[in-house]
């Protein structure tokens, strides 16, 4: 069997597995976020928080909950790293410097997991499991909560109430993420991912001498790293490290975990708004983009253009033998079209166009299928823009799911889509204009520029992957990337929740003959076009200076 | 003013309490429970898939090693010990500079781009070395025989595997250096070639450490005669 055919079959197997999980998981999620009942453990947690889970919140209250919880997360994680040197169970690792601790705290709370540190030499057991892995769970749950609040905005009318943030947060963790993570972690250990709390481990070597490696709770962190579309590796090599991703099967399984919840949430959206076909239309849009990106990526990686790859006879630089080019390409596209940023191969050594595809995936706003929660709300905002464009074409007030898209709604949507490009382009321009940030580049020329453009694209879109040649552990990059991550995560949430509140207040308009049928393929096509055109127009000049210049050279 | 400050403080306190409670659930109970199950069901795998030769642990079957001769005086980079099968280059492997009480392996890729001159030189040098090292009388190796994984560094720098093509290419050299018949060594490689999982997942591969351990077993009795 040729590697290309094997790659295509892996793609089909992955899609079949996701299709099998789609209806049951999507329906389950809809029940989780609609049920009036509380589990006993949840009641204990609510008592601990001191919150009443049955209080309905309007959008400002919901937003305040999100922000308060996230501010607490940043502070706690910052302190934990600053105190690492004196905490027990830290393998004797030193405390993290202030700028790097800020960057890492911002990064994990913002569901980005950009890492300017080397996992195996910087973070001990306590920070990894009680700090970083906790944010892997809760930042994912926050993302789903905000998406569910937006869905409620479409589903409800004449209320303005969007649910209870604490209940959504706790249910996401207790009923969704933890159960799947437990099963997934055991599967990973069965395949060879390590899971222990031993210290530094010293073993002999074949040629004599010894080698040392870290023990750690890797499987339990690996699974939520993918499932919560977080991406922060236990080890520096992330999911390329054999202890994180030991076999071809775990590779495919980890891609499955990355896509699982973002895909299923489109079903949840359909169920909660009363029309599963609306969910299918959103899913079709996501799948079209994802599939075309994978196809393009496989094509360019198997073709292996670029002097060094031509000389080598294949694009294997930065890739593992067990995954091959097919498995690596699927992973690379899936991780950058979601907000994951985990890598099983190193994007900086991809072909010029391959690297461009990973960057473009993030620039689309990570909506195909996107991060847990953030993918759905990002795509729904794009849908609002798309119906608005369609409305302009036929001269009719646009509406989506029975809600009028008026001035107020379109302003919120427009602000949402402007934030991230503004952060990416302004910070990249500043880094290029100042004298010192450029010293961090490993490669020169177009690829050097790409390293910096990639970094801010990754940070502002909350992805976290890197053209890792860039030495990002400088005060400039730690600080500006930290800010880009926080602003890129929470400013869009403000507009999503404001939009949700505005939609929830409206009375639904009846469907008439003139209504745009948003559950039809025509609309999915329009939506794909809107996504590509808006992103293309925004980023084309920057892409032309980096990956396009390299790929066409 | 005062009410808004105290409201904010109350909200932040709620956020902090929520974080602490959820830290107990996801940061303490969950990893300990998974560790318990993992250590109970798969202790070998949960502790790093260690592998033994002659009753001694010689590494993890998941972590690639180097098979080099000891450094000679004045040498900066060691030479490969051609008696043993060689793994992939690992130019991206770092060395721990932060916690110097340990000698941790620091995983990593080169992150050199496809048009990077340094990477191009590494690839060319590696290819020349593979051709030279593996050409034995009667079995010359041509540059076009060398597969890509033999001349590129992996993502982790710890790739435990090589492609079957690269293993096959080393057979005649290894046989000659160890005084073994080539078909015997080829048989060993074939036995240690793992096909794609279920026929289509991943790529076929040969675990270098496991192969070398088996080779050592084959050589040891022969050396005794």
pLDDT in tens, B156-182: 999 999 999 999 999 999 999 999 999
* Confidence bin at A201 (pLDDT 50/70/90): confident
pLDDT value of residue A26: 98
Phi, psi (degrees; rounded to nearest 5) at A224: -80, -25
Whether the CB of A550 is below 8 Å from some CB of chain B: the reply is yes
B residues 165-194 closer than 8 Å to A (CB): none
* Confidence bin at B224 (pLDDT 50/70/90): very low
Structural domain of residue B27, as residue ranges?
1-47
Residue A285, pLDDT > 80, answer yes
Whether the CB of A96 is below 8 Å from some CB of chain B: the reply is no
Mutate to test the interface with A, among B17, B100, B114 (most CBs of A within 10 A): B114
Compute the average pLDDT of residues A84-92.
Answer: 87
Among left, alpha and beta (phi > 0; psi -120 to 50; other), residue A114 is beta
Helices A374-394 and A276-303: angle between axes, nearest 10 degrees: 100
How far A189 CA sits from the closest chain B CA (Å)?
6
Digit-coded pLDDT (tens) for A115-174? 999 888 899 999 999 999 999 999 999 999 999 999 999 999 999 999 999 999 999 999
Whether residue B38 contacts residue B46, with contact meaning beta carbons closer than 8 Å, is answered with yes
B120 and B209 in a single domain? The answer is yes
Residue B56 lies in a domain: no
Whether residue A358 contacts residue A336, with contact meaning beta carbons closer than 8 Å, is answered with yes
**Which chain A residues are closer than 8 Å to B108 by Cβ?**
118, 236-237, 468
Mutate to test the interface with B, among A1, A132, A308, A441 (most CBs of B within 10 A): A308
Compare CB distances from A213 to B20, B48, B123 and report the shortest one's residue: B48
Where are the alpha helices (H) located in A274-373, listed in sequence order?
Answer: 276-303, 307-312, 324-337, 352-363
A residues 131-160 closer than 8 Å to B (CB): 131, 133-134, 137-138
Compare CB distances from B18 to A49, A317, A352 and report the shortest one's residue: A49
**Which chain B residues are closer than 8 Å to A193 by Cβ?**
45
A114 three-state secondary structure: coil
**Which chain A residues are closer than 8 Å to B119 by Cβ?**
308, 317, 349
Distance CA A455, CA A448 (A): 11
B216 and B129 in a single domain? The answer is yes
Compute the average pLDDT of residues A437-465.
Answer: 93
B162 and B196 in a single domain? The answer is yes
- Count the domains in chain B: 2
> Count of alpha carbons within 13 Å of A303, Cβ hemisphere only?
13
Whether the CB of A303 is below 8 Å from some CB of chain B: the reply is no
Whether the CB of A3 is below 8 Å from some CB of chain B: the reply is yes
Whether residue A245 contacts residue A254, with contact meaning beta carbons closer than 8 Å, is answered with yes
> What is the percentage of chain A residues whose pLDDT exceeds 70?
100
B42 and B87 in a single domain? The answer is no
* Confidence bin at A4 (pLDDT 50/70/90): very high
Residue B57 lies in a domain: no
First-residue to last-residue Cα distance in chain B: 93
First-residue to last-residue Cα distance in chain A: 33
Distance CA B25, CA B45 (A): 25
How far B192 CA sits from the closest chain A CA (Å)?
14
B83 and B121 in a single domain? The answer is yes
> Contact B94/A314, CB-based, under 8 Å?
no
B34 and B85 in a single domain? The answer is no
Distance CA A181, CA A492 (A): 28
B78 and B22 in a single domain? The answer is no
DSSP-assigned beta bridge partners for residue B205: B194
B102 and B170 in a single domain? The answer is yes
Digit-coded pLDDT (tens) for A397-444? 899 999 999 999 999 999 999 999 999 999 999 999 999 898 899 888
Mutate to test the interface with A, among B4, B15, B80, B213 (most CBs of A within 10 A): B15
Cα B115 from chain centroid (whole Å): 25
Structure tokens at A99: 């700028």
* Confidence bin at B225 (pLDDT 50/70/90): very low
> Contact A131/B27, CB-based, under 8 Å?
yes
pLDDT value of residue A514: 83
Helices A445-460 and A475-505: angle between axes, nearest 10 degrees: 40
Residue A389, pLDDT > 90, answer yes
Residue B22 lies in a domain: yes
Compare CB distances from B15 to A72, A324, A447 and report the shortest one's residue: A72
Distance CA A337, CA A14 (A): 16
Distance CA A322, CA B154 (A): 10
Cis peptide before A369 (omega within 30 of 0): yes
Whether residue A489 contacts residue A462, with contact meaning beta carbons closer than 8 Å, is answered with yes
B residues 116-155 closer than 8 Å to A (CB): 116, 119-120, 122-124, 127, 144, 146-149, 151-155
Residue of A nearest to B198 (CA): A249
Whether the CB of B10 is below 8 Å from some CB of chain A: the reply is no
Q: Determine the Cα angle at A350 with ends A347 and A356, to 5°.
A: 75
pLDDT value of residue B220: 82
Chains A, B: CB pairs < 8 Å: 407
pLDDT value of residue B1: 55
> Contact B59/A133, CB-based, under 8 Å?
no
pTM score: 0.96
Residue B76 lies in a domain: yes
B131 and B198 in a single domain? The answer is yes
Whether the CB of A120 is below 8 Å from some CB of chain B: the reply is yes
B205 and B155 in a single domain? The answer is yes
Q: Determine the Cα angle at A238 with ends A232 and A239, to 5°.
A: 110
**Which chain A residues are closer than 8 Å to B158 by Cβ?**
237, 241-242
B120 and B212 in a single domain? The answer is yes
Residue of B nearest to A301 (CA): B114
Residue B52 lies in a domain: no
* Residues counted in chain B: 225
Compute the average pLDDT of residues A37-61.
Answer: 96
Residue B111 lies in a domain: yes
Q: Mean pLDDT of all residues in chain A? A: 95
Structure tokens at B168: 């096959």
**Which chain B residues are closer than 8 Å to A468 by Cβ?**
108-109, 111
Residue A376, pLDDT > 90, answer yes
B15 and B82 in a single domain? The answer is no
Whether the CB of B95 is below 8 Å from some CB of chain A: the reply is no
Indicate the range of A10-19, A116-125, A346-355 predicted with least confidence: A116-125
Residue B99, pLDDT > 90, answer no
Residue B216 lies in a domain: yes
The ipTM value here is 0.95
Residue B148 lies in a domain: yes
Compare CB distances from B111 to A192, A319, A442 and report the shortest one's residue: A442
pLDDT value of residue B199: 96
């Amino acid at each position: 069997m040729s590697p290309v055919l094997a790659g295509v079959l892996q793609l089909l197997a992955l899609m079949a597995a996701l299709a099998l999980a789609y209806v049951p998981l999507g329906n389950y999620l809809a029940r989780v976020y609609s049920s009036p009942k509380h589990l006993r453990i949840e009641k204990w947690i609510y008592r601990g928080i001191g919150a009443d889970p049955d209080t309905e919140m309007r959008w400002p209250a919901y937003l305040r909950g999100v922000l308060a919880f996230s501010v607490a997360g940043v502070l706690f994680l910052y302190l934990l790293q600053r105190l690492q040197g004196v905490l027990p169970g830290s393998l004797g690792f030193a405390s993290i410097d202030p700028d790097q601790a800020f960057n890492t705290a911002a990064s994990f709370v913002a569901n980005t997991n950009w890492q300017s540190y080397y996992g195996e030499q910087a973070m001990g057991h306590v920070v990894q499991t009680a700090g970083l892995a906790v944010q892997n769970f809760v930042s994912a749950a926050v993302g789903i909560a905000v998406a569910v609040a937006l869905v409620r905005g479409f589903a409800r009318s004449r209320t303005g109430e969007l649910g209870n943030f604490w209940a959504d947060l706790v249910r996401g963790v207790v009923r969704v993420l933890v159960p799947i993570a437990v099963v997934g972690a055991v599967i990973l250990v069965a395949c060879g991912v390590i899971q222990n709390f031993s210290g530094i481990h010293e073993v002999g070597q074949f040629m004599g001498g010894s080698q040392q490696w870290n023990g750690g709770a890797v499987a339990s962190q690996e699974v939520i790293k993918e499932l919560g579309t977080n991406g922060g590796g236990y080890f520096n090599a992330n999911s390329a490290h054999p202890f994180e991703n030991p076999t071809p099967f775990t590779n495919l399984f980890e891609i499955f975990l990355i896509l699982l919840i973002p895909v299923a949430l489109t079903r949840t959206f359909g169920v909660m708004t009363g029309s599963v076909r609306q969910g299918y239309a959103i899913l079709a849009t996501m799948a079209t983009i994802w599939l075309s990106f994978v196809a393009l990526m496989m094509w360019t990686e198997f073709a292996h253009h670029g002097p060094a790859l031509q000389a080598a006879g294949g694009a294997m630089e930065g890739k593992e033998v067990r995954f091959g080019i097919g498995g690596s390409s699927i992973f690379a596209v899936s991780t950058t079209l979601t907000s994951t940023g985990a890598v099983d191969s190193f994007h900086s050594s991809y072909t010029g166009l391959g690297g461009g595809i990973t960057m473009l995936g993030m620039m689309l706003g990570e909506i195909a299928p996107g991060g847990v929660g953030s993918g759905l709300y990002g795509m729904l905002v794009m849908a609002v823009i798309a119906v608005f464009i369609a409305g302009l074409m036929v001269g009719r007030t646009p509406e989506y799911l029975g809600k009028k898209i008026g001035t107020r709604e379109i302003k919120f949507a427009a602000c949402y889509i402007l934030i991230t490009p503004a952060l990416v382009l302004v910070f990249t321009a500043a880094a290029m204009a100042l004298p010192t940030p450029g010293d961090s580049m490993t490669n020169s020329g177009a690829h050097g520029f790409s390293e910096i453009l990639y970094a801010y694209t990754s940070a502002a879109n909350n992805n976290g992957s890197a053209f890792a040649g860039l030495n990002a552990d400088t005060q400039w990059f730690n600080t500006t990337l930290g800010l880009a991550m926080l602003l890129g995560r929470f400013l869009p949430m403000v507009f999503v929740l404001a939009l949700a509140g505005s939609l929830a207040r409206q009375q639904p308009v009846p469907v008439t003959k003139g209504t745009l049928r948003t559950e039809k393929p025509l609309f999915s096509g329009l939506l794909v076009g809107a996504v590509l055109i808006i992103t293309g127009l925004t980023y084309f000049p920057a892409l032309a200076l980096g990956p396009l210049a390299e790929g066409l050279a | 003013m005062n009410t808004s400050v105290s409201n904010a403080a109350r909200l932040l306190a709620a956020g902090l309490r929520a974080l602490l409670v959820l830290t107990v659930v996801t940061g303490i109970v969950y990893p300990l429970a998974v560790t318990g199950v993992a250590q109970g069901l798969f202790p070998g795998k949960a502790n790093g898939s260690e592998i033994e030769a002659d009753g001694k642990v010689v590494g993890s079957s998941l972590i690639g090693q180097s098979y080099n001769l000891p450094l000679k005086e004045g040498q900066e980079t060691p030479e490969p010990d051609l008696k043993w099968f060689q793994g992939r280059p690992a130019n991206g492997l770092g060395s721990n500079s932060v916690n110097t009480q340990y000698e941790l392996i620091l995983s990593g890729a080169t992150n050199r781009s496809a048009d990077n001159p340094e990477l191009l030189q590494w690839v060319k040098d590696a290819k020349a070395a593979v051709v030279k090292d593996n050409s034995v009388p009667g079995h010359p190796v041509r540059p076009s025989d060398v597969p890509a994984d033999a001349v590129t560094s992996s993502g982790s720098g710890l790739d435990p595997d090589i492609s079957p093509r690269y293993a096959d290419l080393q057979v005649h050299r290894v046989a000659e250096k160890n005084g073994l018949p080539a078909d015997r060594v080829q048989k060993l490689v074939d036995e240690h070639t793992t096909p794609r999982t279920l026929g289509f997942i991943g790529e076929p591969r040969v675990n270098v450490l496991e192969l070398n351990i088996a080779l050592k077993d084959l050589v040891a009795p022969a050396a005794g005669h």
